[in-house]
A and B are shown apart, each in its own frame.
Chain A
């Protein structure tokens, strides 16, 4: 069943087509008083093509968030190679899991601050902030301090800050978390729009229905490795009962 797609979920490819290439990525951390070694990533091989909407799924503790953090440089790999097919972090947008932002800033101030981090000019960052506030449905709350935002509003402002630099590559860690059905629909539409604009989106999610609906390719992680990778259609061909059944099969049967 798992041999249907190669380890990275890619067929023949050239390096110019690749947005993210992770090669034998390993991450070991030491924990506790006795400095016990724990392998979080155990040889992740993953390639994401430019223009893909790529879903990284897996049970809790599989290493999805760590994979994204290593790709961004927030964590250093113990070994392995990370290659981003963009010109550095200036072309990357990132939404952390359960985001927390500066609660003493208003939504607009926060986006203007993020724009300044990317070196945008004063007019450009103000215009971009206003566009994004409108785009994520927070125009009416633009001057409200983030401490007064609900969880769903924080998720939306998080998505807005990830887009402030008009990125070619987006890494979204659980983008649907905390959103109500309307918010989830809006984020899904946003991801579809980004895809139609030719941007690459990699996101983590536990909501398999969203993954099936949005993704061109998926990878299932288990215990620090990619257990399966391929297209949604390939997964469904292997498991006519649906994506959830396929996911359960991979997670329960992979050594």
Chain B
């Protein structure tokens, strides 16, 4: 357990001190403020635009941080040979993967939490109807980004950093669309197409299922029971992805 804590804290320190992260976060905050300007040119819709543009910015920058930083977490340890220091000590490969993931998860909590809080305050200031839904939407964005992080960490154990990032982004986009693909395949009434769509629907994490941005902006009702169910599915997906990454690491030699 102390090994997981040590690696988590070290990874948090590594990622939070990364200048790339600072640049990304500053850019995200500028984008959220940019929502103010967009709101000012859309009559009576300033708060709505602010929330809409802000949540999309939080998602986009959270995904960028997850895809590009998660891809280098494991690979950097291997390429710079710091794994020699870790694995010559009583550190299991599983503890290493979990620690790296939790460290980045902590950084993402700071980044996404910070961006969400900033958006909340900005929305409050412009009288745009800041509510608990805005915070709930941010929390669910965090869940999606965590799943993406786990997926990218898994890819990074089997391929290069850049390919891991690209595959991760591909999975994220596909996960936004898999729900629609399944619905479309049902219209065609072709059994084979529907079966393939089902496989894609199950294999690719269904990020769209916990996306409540539209509800946060329009203050529409949300079926929380369904969200909880899909949230459980995404957590299970995350555990499986990390388990697979740990299994791959166990087979590696340095």
- Asked if B253 contacts A74 (CB within 8 A), the reply is yes
Q: Is the C-beta of B220 less than 8 angstroms from some C-beta in chain A? A: no
Stretch at the interface among A89-97, A175-183, A242-250: A89-97
Stretch at the interface among A15-23, A113-121, A185-193: A113-121
Contacts of A88 in B (CB 8 A): 90
Do A117 and B3 form a contact, CB below 8 Å, given A75-B253, A96-B85, A101-B82? Answer: yes
Chain A residues 77-125 with CB under 8 Å of chain B are 88-90, 92, 94, 96, 99-102, 104-105, 109, 113-114, 116-119
Contacts of A90 in B (CB 8 A): 89-90
- Asked if B254 contacts A75 (CB within 8 A), the reply is yes
**Cβ-neighbour of A94 out of B3, B6, B7, B84 (below 8 A):** B84
Q: Is the C-beta of A76 less than 8 angstroms from some C-beta in chain B? A: yes
Encoded as 1 (CB less than 8 Å from any A CB) or 0, chain B from 8 to 32 comes to: 0110011001000000000000000
Q: Specify the chain B residue showing the minimal Cβ separation from A103.
A: B80
- Asked if B2 contacts A114 (CB within 8 A), the reply is no
Contacts of B80 in A (CB 8 A): 100
Q: Is the C-beta of B86 less than 8 angstroms from some C-beta in chain A? A: yes
Chain B residues 84-101 with CB under 8 Å of chain A are 84-91
- Asked if A104 contacts B3 (CB within 8 A), the reply is no
- Asked if A113 contacts B10 (CB within 8 A), the reply is yes
Q: Specify the chain B residue showing the minimal Cβ separation from A73.
A: B87
- Asked if B84 contacts A96 (CB within 8 A), the reply is yes
- Asked if B88 contacts A119 (CB within 8 A), the reply is no
Chain B residues 207-254 with CB under 8 Å of chain A are 253-254
Q: Is the C-beta of B186 less than 8 angstroms from some C-beta in chain A? A: no
Tell me the minimal C-beta distance from B84 to chain A in angstroms: 4
**Cβ-neighbour of B84 out of A74, A104, A118, A119 (below 8 A):** A74
- Asked if A114 contacts B85 (CB within 8 A), the reply is yes
Contacts of B17 in A (CB 8 A): 104
Contacts of B2 in A (CB 8 A): 116-117, 119
Q: Is the C-beta of A72 less than 8 angstroms from some C-beta in chain B? A: yes
Q: How large is the interface on A (under 10, 10 to 19, 20 to 34, 35 or more residues)?
A: 20 to 34
Q: How large is the interface on B (under 10, 10 to 19, 20 to 34, 35 or more residues)?
A: 20 to 34
In the assembly, what is the distance between CA of A73 and CA of B5, in Å? 23
In the assembly, what is the distance between CA of A96 and CA of B86, in Å? 11
In the assembly, what is the distance between CA of A113 and CA of B9, in Å? 9
Q: Specify the chain A residue showing the minimal Cβ separation from B253.
A: A75
Q: Is the C-beta of A161 less than 8 angstroms from some C-beta in chain B? A: yes
- Asked if B89 contacts A74 (CB within 8 A), the reply is no
- Asked if B254 contacts A101 (CB within 8 A), the reply is no
In the assembly, what is the distance between CA of A117 and CA of B8, in Å? 11
- Asked if A104 contacts B14 (CB within 8 A), the reply is yes
Contacts of B88 in A (CB 8 A): 72, 74, 89, 92, 94, 96, 171
In the assembly, what is the distance between CA of A92 and CA of B91, in Å? 13
Q: Is the C-beta of A151 less than 8 angstroms from some C-beta in chain B? A: no
- Asked if B89 contacts A89 (CB within 8 A), the reply is yes
Q: Specify the chain A residue showing the minimal Cβ separation from B91.
A: A117
Contacts of B5 in A (CB 8 A): 116
Contacts of A100 in B (CB 8 A): 80-82
Tell me the minimal C-beta distance from A31 to chain B in angstroms: 13
In the assembly, what is the distance between CA of A105 and CA of B253, in Å? 26
- Asked if A101 contacts B85 (CB within 8 A), the reply is yes
Contacts of A105 in B (CB 8 A): 10, 13
- Asked if A74 contacts B87 (CB within 8 A), the reply is yes
Do A116 and B6 form a contact, CB below 8 Å, given A75-B253, A88-B90? Answer: yes
- Asked if A117 contacts B87 (CB within 8 A), the reply is no
Q: Specify the chain B residue showing the minimal Cβ separation from A74.
A: B254
Encoded as 1 (CB less than 8 Å from any B CB) or 0, chain A from 116 to 146 comes to: 1111000000000000000000000000000
In the assembly, what is the distance between CA of A171 and CA of B84, in Å? 12
- Asked if B89 contacts A118 (CB within 8 A), the reply is yes
Contacts of A76 in B (CB 8 A): 253
Beyond A102-B82, A116-B5, 16 additional contacts (C-beta under 8 Å) are A73-B87, A74-B84, A74-B254, A75-B253, A88-B90, A90-B90, A96-B84, A96-B85, A99-B84, A99-B85, A104-B14, A105-B10, A109-B13, A113-B10, A116-B9, A117-B3
Ranked 10 nearest A-B pairs via Cβ: A116-B6, A94-B88, A96-B84, A119-B2, A75-B253, A89-B90, A117-B89, A74-B254, A72-B88, A90-B90
User: What are 17 A-B interface contacts by the 8 Å CB criterion?
Assistant: A74-B83, A74-B254, A90-B90, A92-B88, A96-B84, A99-B85, A100-B81, A104-B14, A105-B10, A109-B13, A113-B6, A116-B2, A116-B6, A117-B3, A117-B7, A117-B90, A117-B91
